[in-house]
Chains A and B, each alone.
Chain A
Amino acid sequence: MSQAATELIRISGHAGVVPGKGLNREFQVCKLVDTTTCIGCKACEVACLEWNGYTFSETTFDNTYQTMPETAWNYWNLIKFNEHERADGTMMLLMRKDQCMHCADPGCLAACPADAAIVQYANGIVDFQEANCIGCGYCMTGCPFNIPKFDPPSRKVFKCTLCNDRVSVGLEPACIKACPTGCLHFGTKSEMKELAETRAEQLRTNSGFQDAGVYDPAGVGGTHVIYVLHDAKNPELYGGLPKDPTIPLSVRLWKGPLKWIGNFGIIFGAVGVFIHYLRFGPKVVKEDEQESHGGTQ
């Protein structure tokens, strides 16, 4: 028997042992996004869409190159554009690839009440398991980056998987592979962190960006998508990247007691079902069960 279940380190709404926690060597994957060499070409958007096979939604021109205002349930990767005029009058066109940050301490997972609807692998990827998703949308409130998106017809929430189907066979994610300028890079977290810091240092010494730095916010335990920014003091300039993202207090508060309850594992058989019941009533639970079954056929 292989170490089958030992690679999961977090499971949402789970009462009981998390099989992989603390057992694995650290071998965490990471995407590095160097916004200073991003050309906003959207190859990553198309590569994501193409690989994941989604159909198309109607977009409208909105006085920007940006494809749509925010990521969508079927559009997980979006370049955010900002025309920024610096104090000296020079223009900057700031472009940042927005997607799931794959937080080390994921707010979505913390907020999720459904057993194993969200899991975190030992490699750092935070993955939604649609079969187990009850569509409550709590993950959306738990995410400080506004990433998970709800699809009403299927009553499920979707987001970037970090191409775990590719990563699991040793390939890089689709967005990373496509990126023409190499502003996207993929590797282990420690390597990417080092590369990012080296680039930031280069920007500070050679390109006159004194505030260049790496975005790997501590409030969510660090992320498995990190950014190099020309101006790390003002991440908000980059399409509203939060300065100090944290898991909302509300999620922390109720999740604490829930976890305690879960540890006893006797009061509610399935916490997720109960919460879902409170929110949507029994009828929907049934539908969701059917949907789950359908999803695995």
Chain B
Amino acid sequence: MQQSRRDFFKVATVGAVGATLFGFDLKPAYAQLKELKIARAAETRSTCPYCAVGCGVLIYTIGDRAKNVTPQVIHVEGDPDHPTNRGTLCPKGSSLEQDMLNPRRLTKPQVRRPGATEWEDISWDNALDEIAQWIKKTRDSSFVEKDANGRTVNRCEGISFIGGCTDTNEFNFLAVKAMRGLGLVYLENQARV
């Protein structure tokens, strides 16, 4: 912690031309100002993923989008141009930096086998193959082409899809398309509850 605070208080002596805004202009002997941490950071326009106000947010990442930089988030604040939030953010939006830089994020596919008491790692390839086989097996065993009254229904009764409501319109459309394509009728999302 000591180290990080030192880093943090890395300061700049402000006295150069152009730094006299708002009554600051200092002699290093007396006072020093912290540098603006986002001065040259790249800025990306996004939308807060939480509630349905849909606040515009600016995501600041290190580097200037040059090829040799892996962007990492250093700060998030509201987009002042966005007519709804005009730069403001709530306590959840204000903490978005931590949602992106969070050690608790899931970073690899895992599987919990029948009867297991722990997760095990699985490759994407194997996970997707196994899931596809489950879907086919369950679909084939629960597919109803005609109901008891002889009406064509072409539905898969053994699989359900539930979706959250913080992903994009395009994701939602693709999910609905794919799941209806598989014949699902148990298709629901957060909007219901």
Do A and B touch (CB < 8 Å)?
yes
A residues engaging B (CB < 8 A)? 2-8, 11, 19, 24, 27-29, 41-43, 45-47, 50-53, 55, 116, 119, 121-124, 127, 129-131, 153-154, 161, 164-171, 174, 177-180, 182, 294-297
Minimum distance in angstroms from B61 CB to a CB of chain A: 15
Q: Are A8 and B77 in contact (CB under 8 A)?
A: no
> From residue 8 to 32 of chain B, which have CB atoms closer than 8 A to chain A?
8-9, 11, 14-15, 17, 19-27, 29-32
When the two chains form their complex, are residues B89 and A2 in contact, meaning their CB atoms are under 8 A apart?
no
Q: Is the CB of B30 within 8 A of A169?
A: no
Given contacts A5-B27, A179-B88, contact A50 B94 (CB under 8 A): yes
Q: Which residues of B contact A27 (CB under 8 A)?
A: 22-23
**A178 CA to B88 CA, complexed, in Å:** 4
> Which residue in A29, A51, A116, A178 is a CB contact (below 8 Å) of B31?
A116
**Contacts A131-B32, A166-B36, A177-B78: A53 and B8 contacting too (C-beta < 8 A)?**
yes
A4 partner, pick from B2, B5, B26, beta carbons under 8 A: B26
Contacts of A52 in B (CB 8 A): 8
Cβ-closest chain B residue relative to A175:
B94
Contact between A178 and B19, CB atoms less than 8 A apart: no
B25 proximity list for chain A (CB < 8 A): 2-7
Of residues 70 through 124 on chain B, the ones whose CB sits less than 8 Å from some CB of chain A are 75-78, 80, 85, 87-91, 93-95, 97-98
Interface range on chain B (Cβ under 8 Å from partner):
35 or more
Main secondary structure of the interface of B (DSSP, over half): loop
Between A and B, 26 residue pairs with Cβ closer than 8 Å are A4-B15, A5-B26, A7-B25, A41-B91, A46-B91, A50-B75, A55-B1, A55-B4, A129-B31, A161-B34, A164-B34, A165-B33, A165-B34, A165-B35, A165-B36, A167-B24, A168-B19, A168-B33, A169-B36, A169-B39, A178-B90, A178-B94, A182-B88, A295-B9, A295-B11, A296-B11
Q: How far is the CA of A153 from the CA of B76 in the complex (A)?
A: 30
A4 to B16, CA, bound (A): 9
Nearest-CB residue, chain B, relative to A27? B23
* Cβ-neighbour of B37 out of A11, A153, A164, A165 (below 8 A): A165
Kindly state the separation between the CA atoms of A100 and B148 in the bound complex, as whole angstroms: 74
Query: Cβ of A164 and Cβ of B24 under 8 Å apart?
Result: yes
Please, which residues of chain B bring their CB within 8 A of the CB of A119? Answer: 30-31
Instruction: Assess the B78–A168 pair: CB atoms within 8 A.
Output: no
Q: Which residues of chain A have C-beta atoms less than 8 A from B14's C-beta?
A: 168
Q: Whole-angstrom distance from the CB of B115 to the nearest CB of chain A? A: 38
Chain A neighbourhood of B67, CB < 8 A: none
Q: Which residues of B contact A53 (CB under 8 A)?
A: 8, 37
CA distance A154 to B14 in the complex (A): 25
B36 contacts which chain A residues (CB < 8 A)? 165-166, 168-169, 171
* A180 B30 Cβ-Cβ under 8 A: no
Q: Across the interface, which residues of A come within 8 angstroms of B15, CB to CB?
A: 2, 4
Beta-carbon contact of B22 and A167 below 8 Å: yes
Smallest CB–CB gap between B128 and chain A, Å? Answer: 37
Cα separation A136 to B150 with both chains bound (whole Å): 88
Query: Distance in Å from the Cβ of B51 to the closest Cβ of chain A?
Result: 11
Q: Are B2 and A24 touching (Cβ within 8 A)?
A: no
Q: Please report which residues of chain B, range 107-149, place their CB below 8 angstroms from some CB of chain A when the two chains form the complex.
A: none
Return the contact of A47 from the options B5, B23, B80, B89 (Cβ within 8 A): B89
B6 part of interface (Cβ distance < 8 Å): yes
A2-B34 in contact (CB<8A)? no
With A8-B31, A168-B21 as known contacts, state yes or no: A177 contacts B1, CB within 8 Å.
no
Residues of chain A with a CB closer than 8 A to B21's CB = 168-170
- Distance in angstroms from B1 CB to nearest chain A CB is 7
> B24 to chain A: which residues have CB within 8 Å?
7, 121, 123, 164, 167-168
CB contacts (< 8 Å) of B27 on chain A: these are 4-5, 8, 19
Least distance between B7 CB and chain A CB atoms (Å): 9
Find out whether the CB atom of A43 lies under 8 angstroms from the CB atom of B30. no
Report the bound CA distance from A131 to B28 in whole Å.
11
The one of B5, B23, B91 in contact with A121, judged by C-beta atoms closer than 8 angstroms, is: B23
Give the complex CA separation of A24 and B15 in angstroms. 16
Provide the bound-state CA to CA distance between A91 and B180, in Å.
Answer: 52
With a 10 A CB-CB cut-off, give which of A3, A4, A129 has the most chain B CB atoms: A4
| The 7 residue pairs across chains A and B that have the minimum distance between CB atoms | A123-B23, A5-B27, A46-B94, A165-B34, A168-B24, A122-B23, A46-B91
- Please give 4 more A-B residue pairs, beta carbons under 8 A apart, in addition to A2-B15, A5-B25, A46-B91: A50-B98, A119-B30, A168-B21, A180-B85
